[in-house]
């Protein structure tokens, strides 16, 4: 709903696409009419020789009939196939060109568009009251003015064209068959073409008018633009709910992966990252869980319950947290630091299984590149 607002905004791509689906495209009846008439005139000139031969053949057949044939009703039915075969080829070419011209003329403005919604019957168009309003509405007045304009333009052009070509029309009576037929049809086609071209003035006015009218109808109010953007982007509350659900699913999967981790590096309180490494694979260690504050506390709690080693190293914990996404491999710059941590974890496992002595914890100053170091307050 526009709520009384002015339509000052340009139509969006979505609004234009919806309009095309409804069959609402810019169309000019005058351009379509020009296409039909001009193609008919050109087709008449092209097929004139063939029409002349066909008409000559038909006249010859009629003159060859004897007196008794005029009283035989079956003769007419016998002549029809011959008449049809004589005119079949020129008529096919003629109507083929006209159909093509009609199609091109009607899609030149607005392009080709087929809409089932526009083709389906609408009860509103059957309303007598609405039909009466259309008959005497602004659009009807515009169509009336265009009709009068076409009438006067064609009438004036016809007068001058006939006056110009009158000597040629008179000279046709001096011709011979079948040339006279071809010349007459070509002359009619030539006059027809010039008469049709006189409609270019009306078409030149109507096409920009219809384009402007269609564009104006598609314009939107500021509120319509906002509503469309809101609908296309989704309701903020719904999107927030979906994000919350997605985060919950990620958190559940993350917490389920912690017991399979090799080590959890902590801050020790603000950050926690769980790392998993497959010695038999070719991949680098990757992050299976990470979080800060309450999430970090939950990671430490699950790791402790699953007897996953916890190692406090604030610089490394912050570096992994800020540089590595969940499920991704750690950056190459942290390989040396994480390798020392994993070596400690493997030695610790051996100690607990009775296959070695207790290892020393890695140094608090692990080799972390300067560009991968982060302060406590970052993020």
Question: What does the pLDDT look like over 282-318, one tens digit per residue?
Answer: 778 888 888 888 888 888 888 888 888 888 888 888 8
Helix (H, G, I), strand (E, B) or coil at 310: strand
The more confidently predicted of residues 204 and 240 is 204
Q: Are residues 251 and 153 in the same domain?
A: no
Quick check: 99 pLDDT over 90? Answer: yes
Supply the mean pLDDT for the chain.
80
Q: Identify whether 276 is part of a domain.
A: yes
Residue with more model confidence, 353 or 273: 273
- H-state helical runs in 198-235: 200-218, 222-233
The reported pLDDT for the residue numbered 1 is 45
Task: Give yes or no: residues 224 and 339 share one domain.
Answer: no
The reported pLDDT for the residue numbered 100 is: 93
Question: Is position 366 within any domain?
Answer: yes
CATH number of the domain encompassing residue 274? 3.40.1690.10
124 and 30 belong to one structural domain: yes
Phi, psi values for residue 287, rounded to 5°: -90, 120
Q: Which residue has the tokens 């053949």?
A: 57
Taking Cα atoms as reference points, which of 52, 89, 60, 57 lies closest to residue 182? 52
Query: In this predicted structure, what is the pLDDT of residue 176?
Result: 66
> Looking at the domain assignment, is residue 378 inside a domain?
no
Stated as kind and residue range, the H or E segment containing 278 is: none
Please say which residue of 169, 198, 231 terminates a domain: 231
Looking at the chain, how many residues does it have? 379
pTM of the model: 0.48
262 in the same domain as 171: no
Q: What stretch of H or E contains 292? A: strand 286-292
Digit-coded pLDDT (tens) for 4-47: 567 778 888 878 887 887 778 888 888 888 888 889 888 888 88
Structural domain for 120, as ranges: 13-231
Q: How far apart are alpha carbons 261 and 308 in whole angstroms?
A: 7
Residues 277, 216, single domain; the answer is no
Lowest mean pLDDT among 67-71, 142-146, 341-345, 353-357: 67-71
Kindly indicate the confidence band of residue 136, based on its pLDDT and cuts at 50, 70 and 90. low
pLDDT of 236 over the 70 cut:
no
Q: Is residue 296 located within the same domain as residue 255?
A: yes
Residues 18 and 147 in one domain: yes
Q: Which of 183, 204, 231 is the last residue of a domain?
A: 231
**CA 332 – CA 151 distance, rounded (Å):** 83
Average pLDDT in the 217-229 region? Answer: 81
Note whether residue 4 is domain-resident: no
- Whether residues 282 and 368 fall in one domain: yes
Residue 368 lies in a domain: yes
Q: How many domains does the chain have?
A: 2
In a domain, 2, yes or no: no
315, 316, 321, 325 alpha-carbon torsion, rounded to 10° = 150
E strands in the chain: 263-266, 271-276, 286-292, 310-312
- Whether 100 maps to a domain, the answer reads yes
Question: Is residue 107 located within the same domain as residue 71?
Answer: yes
Most confidently modeled of 93-107, 181-195, 211-225?
93-107
Which of 196, 231, 266 is at the close of a domain?
A: 231
Neighbours of 8 (CB within 10 A): 10
CA–CA separation, 351 vs 12, rounded Å? Answer: 69
Question: 186 and 323 in one domain?
Answer: no
Same domain, 41 and 188: yes
**What share of the chain has pLDDT > 70, as a percent?**
86
Judge if 166 and 290 occupy the same domain: no
Q: Is residue 252 part of a domain?
A: yes
SS3 assignment, position 11: coil
């Amino acid at each position: 709903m526009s709520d009384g607002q002015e339509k000052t905004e340009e139509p969006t791509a979505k609004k234009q696409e919806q309009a095309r689906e409804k069959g609402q495209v810019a169309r000019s009846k005058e351009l379509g009419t020009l296409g039909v008439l001009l193609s008919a005139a050109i087709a008449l000139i092209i097929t004139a020789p063939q029409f002349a031969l066909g008409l000559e053949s038909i006249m010859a057949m009629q003159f060859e009939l004897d007196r008794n044939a005029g009283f035989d009703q079956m003769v007419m039915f016998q002549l029809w196939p011959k008449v049809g075969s004589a005119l079949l080829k020129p008529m096919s070419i003629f109507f083929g060109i006209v159909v093509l011209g009609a199609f091109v003329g009607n899609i030149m403005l607005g392009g080709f568009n087929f809409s089932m919604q526009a083709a389906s019957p609408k009860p509103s168009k059957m309303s007598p009251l609405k039909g009466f309003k259309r008959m005497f509405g602004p659009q009807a007045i515009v169509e009336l003015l265009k009709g009068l304009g076409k009438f006067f333009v064609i009438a004036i052009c016809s007068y001058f064209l006939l006056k110009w070509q009158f000597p040629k029309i008179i000279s046709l009576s001096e011709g011979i068959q079948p040339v006279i037929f071809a010349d007459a049809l070509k002359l009619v086609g030539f006059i027809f073409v010039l008469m049709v071209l006189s409609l270019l003035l009306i078409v030149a006015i109507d096409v920009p008018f219809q384009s402007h009218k269609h564009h104006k109808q598609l314009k939107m109010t500021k509120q319509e633009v906002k509503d469309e953007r809101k609908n296309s982007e989704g309701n903020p509350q719904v999107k927030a709910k979906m994000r919350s659900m997605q985060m919950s699913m990620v958190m559940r999967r993350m917490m389920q992966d912690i017991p399979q981790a090799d080590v959890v590096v902590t801050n020790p309180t603000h950050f926690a990252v769980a790392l998993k490494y497959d010695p038999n694979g070719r991949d680098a260690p990757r992050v299976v869980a990470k979080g800060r504050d309450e999430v970090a506390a939950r990671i430490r709690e699950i790791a402790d319950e699953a007897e996953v080693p916890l190692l406090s190293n604030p610089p490394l914990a912050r570096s992994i947290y800020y540089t590595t996404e969940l499920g991704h491999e750690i950056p190459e710059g942290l390989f040396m630091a994480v390798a020392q941590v994993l070596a400690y974890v493997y030695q610790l496992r051996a100690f607990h299984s009775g296959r070695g002595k207790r290892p020393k914890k890695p140094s608090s100053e692990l080799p972390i590149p300067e560009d991968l170091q982060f302060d406590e307050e970052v993020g």
